[in-house]
Amino acid sequence: MRLLTAVVVAVVAVTALLSPAAGAAARGPSQTVCVNTPIPTGWVVTWYGDWYICGQPGTIYYNAKIIQDIRDTRSGGTVVGCINPPPPAGFYATALHYTDSCNPSTSPNRVLNNQQTLTNLNGMPSGRTLVICGYQPAPPGWTVLAVVQAYQCVYARGGGIGDNAVSIRKL
C-alpha cells in the first residue's frame, strides 16, 4: 500500500510540474481527480491524462484531470486553463493556444486551439481597455469599443483571423 501511495504522489508531482499552469503565477491549490468529477465553482481544468486511481488507462479518452482553484487570482491577473469547460464568472479568454495537456482524448486532431489564457475582469478599474476572444457582448460593467481581428484569439489552428474578438472598456 505504501508503494502505491508513493507512486501516486510521484505521478501527481511530475504531472503538476509538466502541466501548463506550472510556469504561471502562484494560484490556489490543485487536485488530480477522475475525469467524471464535477469541477467546483471557481476552478479550471489544467491537464487531462491517465491515472491508475481512476481505472485502467488505455482507452481513447483520458480518465483523470488536474483542476486548479483560481478564485484568489488578483483583478487583472491571468491564468492558463483548458478551454472546456467554460471559465468561472468574471474570467474571459484573452488568448488561445494549443497544448497536448488539454486533450481529453488520447487521439487529438490538433485542429483547434484547446487552451486559453483567462483574465480576471472582476474589480478592474474604470477606463481599462482589453481585448477578449470571441464575438460576444461586453461583460456586465463593460462596453464594446469595436469588433476586432486578434491573432491571439484564432481558434482554428492555421485558420484565418477574421473578426474573432472584441475590444472592451470598463465603465
Which tens digits make up the pLDDT trace of 75-113? 999 999 999 888 999 999 999 999 999 999 998 888 999
DSSP string, 57-70: --SSB--EEEEEE-
Is residue 67 classed exposed, middle or buried when 0-12, 13-18 and 19+ CB atoms within 10 A define those classes?
A: buried
51/159: higher pLDDT: 51
Average pLDDT over residues 8-34: 53
- Output the pLDDT for position 74: 97
User: 71 pLDDT exceeds 70?
Assistant: yes
- Output the pLDDT for position 89: 94
- Output the pLDDT for position 17: 38
Q: How far is 109 from 60, CA to CA, in rounded Å?
A: 12
* H helices present in the chain, as ranges: 2-18
Q: How far is 66 from 44, CA to CA, in rounded Å?
A: 8
Beta bridge partner(s), residue 142: 170
- Output the pLDDT for position 149: 94
Average pLDDT over residues 10-24: 38
Average pLDDT over residues 32-61: 93
Determine how many CB atoms are found less than 10 A away from the CB of residue 16. Answer: 16
Q: How far is 161 from 153, CA to CA, in rounded Å?
A: 8
- Provide φ and ψ at 97, rounded to 5°: -140, 175
Query: 3-state DSSP call for residue 170?
Result: strand
User: 25 pLDDT exceeds 60?
Assistant: no
User: 23 pLDDT exceeds 50?
Assistant: no
Q: How far is 81 from 88, CA to CA, in rounded Å?
A: 11
What is the band of 13 on the pLDDT scale with cuts at 50, 70, 90? very low
- The pTM (predicted TM-score) of the whole model is 0.81
Q: How far is 25 from 40, CA to CA, in rounded Å?
A: 21
- Output the pLDDT for position 24: 42
Domain boundary assignment for the chain: 2-170
